Amino acid sequence: MVRLVQGKTDKKTYSRDPVKTAKHWVKQGAQLIHLVDLDGAFRGTPKNLATAKEIVKNISVPVEFGGGVRNMATIKKLLDLGVYRVILGTRAIQDSAFLKKAFKVFKYRVIVSLDARNDKVVVSGWKQGAGNKSLTRLAETLKETGFREFIYTDTLKDGTLKGPNIKSIKALLKKTKMRIIASGGVSCLDDIYRLKLLEKLGLSGIIVGKALYEGKFTLSQAIKI
């Protein structure tokens, strides 16, 4: 298991046994495991489905999976494997017909991740821009399609342990009136506390990765907040 830093693969390896790691977080109190296939994100098709299947089989909490999911067949395959929710990115952002079809067929078993750099959405493993559409406009497209919630990642904050982009998250919540799961930059318990203050505006979740692996705080401490 590795992490990204601003979209670039960090050479540091945290674990060579993803199933064992997932079990560890469940024991610490995790009620949902966020699983990203980085190989899949970069190559355009999931490369770790067998690992995802083993994780789902061996833990008792839901798993959401993202990374390289770009067709209906892959979504169905993941759901058939027992994945609770599939995260969509590149294809859903670039292809409105696919986005609409995915929502029509799978409803809230799919969720879209809007990953942005300086408020511009990036795709294909964060390597390319998503065209002229703004972050806010893409969020509005999701809302028009029927989505009530999306994941937002500030890629300049992701993996840096420098704190989340509170200002952007707050602005998005106010503009879109949608539920948002925030990702990127969480470094300490105070970051968790500051994000929780946005709950009344619609913040529905926080994705935490590197801070936990680096021992900045424990999962149980974060859950208490």
**pLDDT at residue number 183:** 92
**pLDDT at residue number 22:** 97
To the nearest 10°, report the CA torsion of 115, 120, 123, 128: -140
Please say if the pLDDT value at position 109 is more than 60.
Answer: yes
* 166: number of Cβ within 10 Å: 16
**pLDDT at residue number 117:** 82
Domain ranges of the chain: 2-224
* 38: number of Cβ within 10 Å: 18
Fold of 2-224: TIM Barrel (3.20.20)
Handedness of CA 34, 67, 147, 194 (dihedral sign): positive
122-151 pLDDT, tens digit per residue, is: 776 555 555 667 889 999 999 999 999 999
Predicted TM-score (pTM) of the model is: 0.89
**pLDDT at residue number 7:** 44
55-100 pLDDT, tens digit per residue, is: 999 999 999 999 999 999 999 999 999 999 999 998 999 999 999 9
